[in-house]
Amino acid sequence: MSPEGGEQVVREPEPEPVPQRLLAAATRLFAEHGFETTSVQQIVDAAGVTKGAMYHYFGSKDDLLYEIYARVLRVQTARMEQAADSTESVQRRLRAVAVDVVVTTVTHLEDTVIFFRSMHLLHPDKQAEVRAQRRRYHERVRGLIEEGQASGVFRADRSAELVVDFFFGAVHHLGFWYRRDGPMSARQVGEQFADLLLDALRV
Protein backbone atom coordinates (compact mmCIF):
# COMPACT_ATOMS: atom_id res chain seq x y z
CA MET A 1 0.00 0.00 0.00
CA SER A 2 2.63 2.52 1.03
CA PRO A 3 5.43 3.61 -1.30
CA GLU A 4 8.11 0.98 -1.22
CA GLY A 5 11.33 2.47 -2.24
CA GLY A 6 11.82 5.30 -4.71
CA GLU A 7 12.55 8.80 -3.51
CA GLN A 8 9.93 10.36 -5.76
CA VAL A 9 6.65 9.24 -4.20
CA VAL A 10 3.47 9.65 -6.16
CA ARG A 11 0.94 10.87 -3.63
CA GLU A 12 -2.60 9.74 -3.81
CA PRO A 13 -4.74 12.85 -3.98
CA GLU A 14 -5.40 13.99 -0.45
CA PRO A 15 -8.77 12.42 0.47
CA GLU A 16 -11.56 14.70 1.62
CA PRO A 17 -11.52 15.18 5.39
CA VAL A 18 -13.86 12.90 7.34
CA PRO A 19 -16.49 15.52 8.27
CA GLN A 20 -16.91 16.59 4.64
CA ARG A 21 -17.15 12.99 3.50
CA LEU A 22 -19.84 12.42 6.09
CA LEU A 23 -21.86 15.45 5.08
CA ALA A 24 -21.63 14.55 1.41
CA ALA A 25 -22.73 10.97 2.05
CA ALA A 26 -25.53 12.07 4.32
CA THR A 27 -26.81 14.61 1.80
CA ARG A 28 -26.94 12.03 -0.95
CA LEU A 29 -28.62 9.39 1.18
CA PHE A 30 -31.10 11.72 2.87
CA ALA A 31 -32.16 13.04 -0.54
CA GLU A 32 -32.46 9.55 -1.96
CA HIS A 33 -34.13 7.68 0.89
CA GLY A 34 -35.24 10.33 3.35
CA PHE A 35 -33.75 11.33 6.67
CA GLU A 36 -35.68 8.89 8.84
CA THR A 37 -35.17 5.93 6.56
CA THR A 38 -31.42 6.45 6.33
CA SER A 39 -29.51 4.82 9.16
CA VAL A 40 -26.32 6.12 10.66
CA GLN A 41 -24.77 2.85 9.60
CA GLN A 42 -25.57 3.54 5.96
CA ILE A 43 -24.06 7.00 6.21
CA VAL A 44 -20.81 5.88 7.75
CA ASP A 45 -20.52 3.00 5.31
CA ALA A 46 -21.03 5.37 2.38
CA ALA A 47 -18.45 7.73 3.83
CA GLY A 48 -16.02 4.91 4.45
CA VAL A 49 -15.67 5.56 8.17
CA THR A 50 -17.07 4.04 11.36
CA LYS A 51 -19.78 5.13 13.71
CA GLY A 52 -17.30 6.13 16.33
CA ALA A 53 -15.71 8.53 13.86
CA MET A 54 -19.05 10.10 13.07
CA TYR A 55 -19.88 10.65 16.71
CA HIS A 56 -16.49 12.17 17.14
CA TYR A 57 -17.35 14.97 14.73
CA PHE A 58 -21.11 15.24 15.03
CA GLY A 59 -23.16 15.09 18.18
CA SER A 60 -26.01 13.23 16.56
CA LYS A 61 -27.72 12.31 13.33
CA ASP A 62 -29.77 15.48 13.73
CA ASP A 63 -26.58 17.49 13.68
CA LEU A 64 -25.82 16.27 10.19
CA LEU A 65 -29.20 17.48 8.98
CA TYR A 66 -28.74 20.80 10.66
CA GLU A 67 -25.29 21.31 9.22
CA ILE A 68 -26.43 20.43 5.72
CA TYR A 69 -29.01 23.15 5.69
CA ALA A 70 -27.13 25.73 7.71
CA ARG A 71 -24.36 25.68 5.14
CA VAL A 72 -26.76 26.46 2.30
CA LEU A 73 -28.45 29.16 4.27
CA ARG A 74 -25.13 30.87 4.99
CA VAL A 75 -24.23 30.86 1.32
CA GLN A 76 -27.63 32.11 0.20
CA THR A 77 -27.71 34.84 2.79
CA ALA A 78 -24.27 36.13 1.88
CA ARG A 79 -25.08 36.23 -1.83
CA MET A 80 -28.47 37.82 -1.29
CA GLU A 81 -26.99 40.56 0.87
CA GLN A 82 -24.35 41.35 -1.66
CA ALA A 83 -26.99 41.75 -4.36
CA ALA A 84 -29.42 43.63 -2.13
CA ASP A 85 -26.80 46.08 -0.93
CA SER A 86 -25.40 46.96 -4.33
CA THR A 87 -25.75 50.39 -5.90
CA GLU A 88 -28.09 49.30 -8.67
CA SER A 89 -31.72 50.40 -9.00
CA VAL A 90 -34.12 48.64 -6.69
CA GLN A 91 -35.72 46.81 -9.63
CA ARG A 92 -32.35 45.45 -10.74
CA ARG A 93 -31.41 44.57 -7.21
CA LEU A 94 -34.66 42.68 -6.58
CA ARG A 95 -34.34 40.89 -9.89
CA ALA A 96 -30.74 39.90 -9.10
CA VAL A 97 -31.80 38.55 -5.72
CA ALA A 98 -34.67 36.59 -7.27
CA VAL A 99 -32.52 35.03 -9.96
CA ASP A 100 -29.79 34.24 -7.50
CA VAL A 101 -31.98 32.47 -4.96
CA VAL A 102 -33.34 30.25 -7.70
CA VAL A 103 -29.87 29.44 -8.97
CA THR A 104 -28.41 28.67 -5.55
CA THR A 105 -31.52 26.67 -4.59
CA VAL A 106 -31.09 24.54 -7.68
CA THR A 107 -27.36 24.22 -7.06
CA HIS A 108 -28.16 22.85 -3.61
CA LEU A 109 -31.44 21.25 -4.55
CA GLU A 110 -30.86 18.09 -2.52
CA ASP A 111 -30.15 20.07 0.62
CA THR A 112 -33.27 22.14 0.12
CA VAL A 113 -35.48 19.11 -0.48
CA ILE A 114 -34.08 17.38 2.57
CA PHE A 115 -34.60 20.39 4.66
CA PHE A 116 -38.21 21.16 3.92
CA ARG A 117 -39.02 17.50 4.30
CA SER A 118 -37.24 16.98 7.57
CA MET A 119 -37.03 20.28 9.40
CA HIS A 120 -39.81 19.13 11.72
CA LEU A 121 -37.63 16.29 13.00
CA LEU A 122 -34.97 18.65 14.26
CA HIS A 123 -34.71 19.57 17.90
CA PRO A 124 -37.00 22.58 18.50
CA ASP A 125 -34.06 24.79 19.43
CA LYS A 126 -32.31 24.13 16.16
CA GLN A 127 -35.55 24.54 14.27
CA ALA A 128 -35.94 27.95 15.88
CA GLU A 129 -32.42 28.93 14.92
CA VAL A 130 -32.97 28.08 11.29
CA ARG A 131 -36.37 29.72 11.18
CA ALA A 132 -34.93 32.92 12.61
CA GLN A 133 -32.21 32.96 10.01
CA ARG A 134 -34.77 32.33 7.22
CA ARG A 135 -36.93 35.11 8.60
CA ARG A 136 -34.07 37.59 8.48
CA TYR A 137 -33.51 36.57 4.89
CA HIS A 138 -37.17 37.13 4.00
CA GLU A 139 -37.23 40.44 5.81
CA ARG A 140 -34.31 41.80 3.88
CA VAL A 141 -36.10 40.94 0.64
CA ARG A 142 -39.34 42.41 1.91
CA GLY A 143 -37.39 45.56 2.73
CA LEU A 144 -36.31 45.73 -0.89
CA ILE A 145 -39.89 45.54 -2.07
CA GLU A 146 -41.05 48.14 0.41
CA GLU A 147 -38.21 50.39 -0.67
CA GLY A 148 -39.47 50.15 -4.26
CA GLN A 149 -43.04 50.71 -3.19
CA ALA A 150 -42.06 53.78 -1.17
CA SER A 151 -40.16 55.25 -4.11
CA GLY A 152 -43.03 54.51 -6.47
CA VAL A 153 -41.28 52.10 -8.79
CA PHE A 154 -43.34 49.15 -7.45
CA ARG A 155 -47.11 49.22 -7.06
CA ALA A 156 -47.96 49.84 -3.44
CA ASP A 157 -51.28 47.99 -3.30
CA ARG A 158 -49.62 44.61 -3.06
CA SER A 159 -48.75 43.28 0.39
CA ALA A 160 -44.97 43.05 0.38
CA GLU A 161 -45.11 40.29 2.96
CA LEU A 162 -47.53 38.21 0.97
CA VAL A 163 -45.52 38.68 -2.21
CA VAL A 164 -42.45 37.43 -0.40
CA ASP A 165 -44.27 34.37 0.95
CA PHE A 166 -45.72 33.72 -2.47
CA PHE A 167 -42.40 33.98 -4.26
CA PHE A 168 -40.33 31.98 -1.79
CA GLY A 169 -43.05 29.37 -1.61
CA ALA A 170 -42.60 28.82 -5.32
CA VAL A 171 -38.82 28.76 -4.93
CA HIS A 172 -38.80 26.30 -2.03
CA HIS A 173 -41.04 24.01 -3.98
CA LEU A 174 -38.60 23.75 -6.88
CA GLY A 175 -37.33 20.44 -5.56
CA PHE A 176 -40.69 18.85 -6.27
CA TRP A 177 -40.54 19.36 -9.98
CA TYR A 178 -37.26 20.82 -11.26
CA ARG A 179 -34.94 18.32 -12.95
CA ARG A 180 -31.36 19.22 -13.67
CA ASP A 181 -31.48 17.12 -16.80
CA GLY A 182 -34.68 18.80 -17.97
CA PRO A 183 -35.08 21.45 -20.65
CA MET A 184 -34.42 24.56 -18.55
CA SER A 185 -31.24 25.70 -16.90
CA ALA A 186 -31.35 27.03 -13.37
CA ARG A 187 -30.65 30.50 -14.68
CA GLN A 188 -33.50 30.31 -17.17
CA VAL A 189 -35.91 29.34 -14.43
CA GLY A 190 -34.47 32.11 -12.27
CA GLU A 191 -35.01 34.71 -14.98
CA GLN A 192 -38.59 33.64 -15.54
CA PHE A 193 -39.37 33.45 -11.84
CA ALA A 194 -37.93 36.95 -11.51
CA ASP A 195 -40.19 38.09 -14.38
CA LEU A 196 -43.20 36.69 -12.60
CA LEU A 197 -42.21 38.39 -9.37
CA LEU A 198 -41.72 41.75 -11.05
CA ASP A 199 -45.01 41.37 -12.96
CA ALA A 200 -46.71 41.42 -9.63
CA LEU A 201 -45.07 44.68 -8.66
CA ARG A 202 -45.32 46.59 -11.93
CA VAL A 203 -47.20 49.84 -11.49
Partner DNA sequence: AATGAATGAGTGTTCATTCAT
Partner DNA sequence: TATGAATGAACACTCATTCAT
Q: Is 116 in the site for a copy of itself (CB under 8 A)?
A: yes
Binding range to DNA, per CB under 7 A, among 46-54, 78-86, 157-165, 191-199: 46-54
Q: Is 61 in the site for DNA (CB under 7 A)?
A: yes
Of 60, 128, 202, 203, the residue at the interface with a copy of itself (CB under 8 A) is: 202
Least distance in angstroms from the C-beta of 201 to a copy of itself: 8
Of 20, 37, 86, 89, the residue at the interface with DNA (CB under 7 A) is: 37
Of 49, 65, 145, 171, the residue at the interface with DNA (CB under 7 A) is: 49
The option from a copy of itself, DNA, none interacting with 162 (CB < 5 to 8 A, set by class) reads a copy of itself
Whether the CB-CB separation of 196 and 202 falls below 8 Å is answered with no
Name every residue whose Cβ is closer than 8 Å to that of residue 182 and which is 6 or more positions away in sequence: none
CB atoms inside a 10 Å sphere around CB 17: 9
Of 53, 130, 184, 200, the residue at the interface with DNA (CB under 7 A) is: 53
Rg, C-alpha atoms of the chain: 21
Least distance in angstroms from the C-beta of 202 to a copy of itself: 7
- Residue with Cβ nearer a copy of itself (6 or 169): 169
Q: Is 72 in the site for a copy of itself (CB under 8 A)?
A: no
Whether the CB-CB separation of 71 and 130 falls below 8 Å is answered with no
**Whole-number Å distance between alpha carbons of 23 and 151:** 45
Whether the CB-CB separation of 168 and 139 falls below 8 Å is answered with no
Whether the CB-CB separation of 102 and 177 falls below 8 Å is answered with no
Binding range to DNA, per CB under 7 A, among 50-58, 142-150, 166-174, 183-191: 50-58
Q: Which amino acid is at 53?
A: A
Residues shown for the chain: 203
Q: Tell me, what DSSP letter sits at residue 9?
A: -
Question: Which positions touch DNA (CB under 7 A)?
Answer: 1-2, 18, 37-41, 49-53, 55-57, 60-62
